[in-house]
Amino acid sequence: MIEFYNVHTKIDNSVILNNITFRILKGEFVFLKGSSGAGKSTILRHIYMDLYPTQGMVIVENYSSAKISDKEIPFLRRKLGVIFQDFKLLSDRNVFDNVAFALRVTGAKSNEIKRKVMRVLTEVNLGQKRNMYPSELSGGEQQRVAIARAIINNPFIILADEPTGNLDTKTSVEIMEILEKINRQGTAVLMATHSQEILKKYKHRTLTIENGILEKE
């Protein structure tokens, strides 16, 4: 479902990813660890095809970095759920509308939108807070809204770029438990982290990257 074949990526003549090859299978939970600047976010950007390899290839489901057209990018991204350390919510919309946004652009009908949004908000325990604005929520709640938004289109994988980076330990565990639950329901997760606490507590296959090089598993 996700495959990197000898991915070599240069930006302004410096090598950012050095000949990276790995696979993520259906329904897997995989951690991506490595120090700051190692290349974790860059790997995720290759998967949502915000960046292309200089050499080699990235395959995501039936899309290839070598062949995808600009027109196909939004369709690829609907199959992925992406969450970030800083949540990236729309500050001028309430919780419901932040989540509904991703569905409205697909042309869904309002009944269907209401039903699906309430289902994912219930999934992250935020049904009661649907009318609140991001600034009225705690960091953990904001990240749960971001997770609800990420799963609304039933992605096959969640790409999480240090989703607990701005959260305390207790809140990080809450977020991890939600990601674990979504994974048990069959959605794969690829999560960049440098939290030793999380890597110790949750046992999953771990890809380690340093200086753009993937260490042997």
Ligand X SMILES: Nc1ncnc2c1ncn2[C@@H]1O[C@H](COP(=O)(O)OP(=O)(O)OP(=O)(O)O)[C@@H](O)[C@H]1O
What does the binding site for ligand X look like in residue numbers (CB under 6 A)? 11-12, 16, 34, 36-42
Smallest distance, Å, CB 39 to ligand X? 4
Q: Least CB distance from residue 40 to Mg ion, whole Å?
A: 5
Nearer to ligand X, 37 or 74 (CB): 37
Would you say 123 or 161 has its CB closer to ligand X?
161
d(Cα 206, Cα 211) in Å, to the nearest integer? 16
- Name the minimum Å distance from CB 206 to ligand X: 14
Closest distance to ligand X from the beta carbon of 40 (Å)? 3
Binder of Mg ion out of 18, 41, 171, 208 (CB under 5 A): 41
Q: Which range, of 15-23, 38-46, 63-71, 143-151, touches Mg ion by CB under 5 A?
A: 38-46
Nearer to Mg ion, 117 or 175 (CB): 175
186 binds, among Mg ion, ligand X, none (CB under 5 to 8 A by kind): none
**Environment class of 71 (CB within 10 Å of its CB; exposed 0-12, middle 13-18, buried 19+):** exposed
Q: What burial letters (b/e) apply to 91-117, b meaning 16+ CB within 10 Å? A: eeebbbbbbbbbbeeeebeeeebeebb
How far is residue 100's CA from residue 149's CA, in Å, rounded to a whole number? Answer: 7
Does 64 participate in binding Mg ion (rule CB under 5 A)? no
Number of H helices, E strands in the chain: 7, 10
User: For residues 80 and 157, is the Cβ–Cβ distance under 8 A?
Assistant: yes
For Mg ion, which stretch binds (CB under 5 A), given 35-43, 88-96, 126-134, 183-191?
Answer: 35-43
CB 151 within 8 A of CB 120: yes
Nearest to 34 by CA among 214, 212, 209: 209
